[in-house]
Amino acid sequence: MGEENLYDSGYNYPLSVIHDGDHGGDDFITTLVALQRSNEINLLGITTCHGNVSVNTATRNACLALDLFDRRDVNVFEGADVPWKIPSQRGDNAFGFNGLGGVDMGEPKKTPQNSSAQEYLANTIQATDKKVNLLATGPLTNLAQLFSSNPSLLENVELLTIMGGCLNPLGPNKRQGNITKHAEFNFYMDPDAADFVLGLEIPTVLFPLDVTHQLVFNENRKQMARSVLKTELGEKLIGVMGAAENVDDSKFELGGAIFHDALPLLFLLKPELFRGKSMHLSINTDSNSEYHGQIRECRDEKMNRSQVFLVDQLTDPGGAFEIILTSVSAVAEQNSRTVA
């Protein structure tokens, strides 16, 4: 099966997007880019879940991102605090106690809504007159719970973009997983949810470590960021972008922190940057197996799995980073308040 572009003709912008994630450092930067690119991304709302940090901390971080834009029209809805079917898994503390690498962004002014993520997702997707794009950058617990209870909502989803999994890793260590030797973090934290969602009859684009490892916040890019992010807030945002460097580099030796969660959003902004292939995929849900949480290709037609477009090539990493840096620098320039 050869490499292909999924959407050569692009999209009808602005896209209606809901961002569902565990809102550690890379989710935080992804949210900032989405908010800055409002001509292309109509961010309807943010839903949070367990993962990098507790769901309460994830919710707090999502509110902090919205504070930087004073976006009162975009709300945060707290979601699942534990996996769908299994006990809570232990993470690797990649983004520190606050999910932002210890960077102090002050106290949030914005507060989450009283409605749950499930209620918000169901009501918004049901009521939309334009199909919704779901941007998933954490464990897929919220989405598995939503669509298992409300399968009719699938017809109102235009596209689901997911960061998770790994088939063919890059780096000298040839390590498939970033939480265990075989499993990527988001899918390991809730394998049952990931397996269920990847089997749904819904247009799905997956961004595994195969492609996220092609966009690294290396020393050269740090210097580029320092040359334009010269304010106090800018320096803090550099800290957030590099928050997971020690964890990432100790496992993969790629020379810096990896922009995992930004890639699904970059695809929505500029799909021509990516190439991949359609595959049938599943997740190992056996909690007694050392391969628990591992993604695998399904070749057995009897499994009746839907196709997923797996992205494994970023054709222009420099151009992708430029989108992130331009957006983040605009945030720093536009934001006049001093972050404590």
- CATH code, domain carrying 40: 3.90.245.10
Q: Is residue 215 part of a domain?
A: yes
pLDDT confidence of 128, banded at 50, 70, 90?
confident
Q: Is residue 86 part of a domain?
A: yes
Q: Is residue 301 part of a domain?
A: yes
The beta strand positions in 119-172, using DSSP E, are 132-136, 157-163
Residues 104-119 pLDDT 10s: 999 999 999 999 999 9
Q: Is residue 2 part of a domain?
A: no
Q: Which of 171, 200, 183 is nearest to 291 (CA)?
A: 183
* Mean pLDDT of the residues in the chain: 91
In single-letter form, the type of residue at position 291 comes to Y
Q: What is the mean pLDDT of residues 149-155?
A: 96
Rounded to a whole number of angstroms, the CA Rg of the chain reads 18
Q: Which of 219, 70, 242, 80 is nearest to 148 (CA)?
A: 80
Peptide bond into 14 cis (omega under 30): yes
Residues 34-81 pLDDT 10s: 999 999 999 999 999 999 899 999 999 999 999 999 888 999 999 999
Which sequence positions are flagged as catalytic?
260
Give the span between the Cα atoms of 267 and 171, in whole angstroms: 23
Exposure b/e, 153-188, CB count within 10 A at least 16 = b: beeebbbbbbbbbbbebbbeeebbbbbbebbbbbbb
How many independent structural domains does the chain possess? 1
Domain that holds residue 287: 15-334
Q: Is the pLDDT of residue 155 over 50?
A: yes
204: β partners:
160
Which residue shows structure tokens 């232990």? 90
Q: Is residue 21 part of a domain?
A: yes
Give the span between the Cα atoms of 73 and 71, in whole angstroms: 5
Q: Is residue 233 part of a domain?
A: yes
Q: Which of 53, 57, 26, 80 is nearest to 192 (CA)?
A: 80
Q: Is residue 8 part of a domain?
A: no
Give the span between the Cα atoms of 135 and 67, in whole angstroms: 20
Residue 150, CA distances (Å) to 142, 275, 284, 301 in order: 12, 32, 24, 26
Q: Encoding tokens for residue 5?
A: 């572009």
Residues 210-255 pLDDT 10s: 999 999 999 999 999 999 999 999 999 999 999 888 888 888 888 9
Q: What are phi and psi of 217, to 5 degrees?
A: -85, 75
Q: Is the pLDDT of residue 3 over 80?
A: no
pLDDT confidence of 174, banded at 50, 70, 90?
confident
Q: Is residue 112 part of a domain?
A: yes
Give the span between the Cα atoms of 141 and 325, in whole angstroms: 30
| Cβ 64 vs Cβ 103: under 8 Å | no
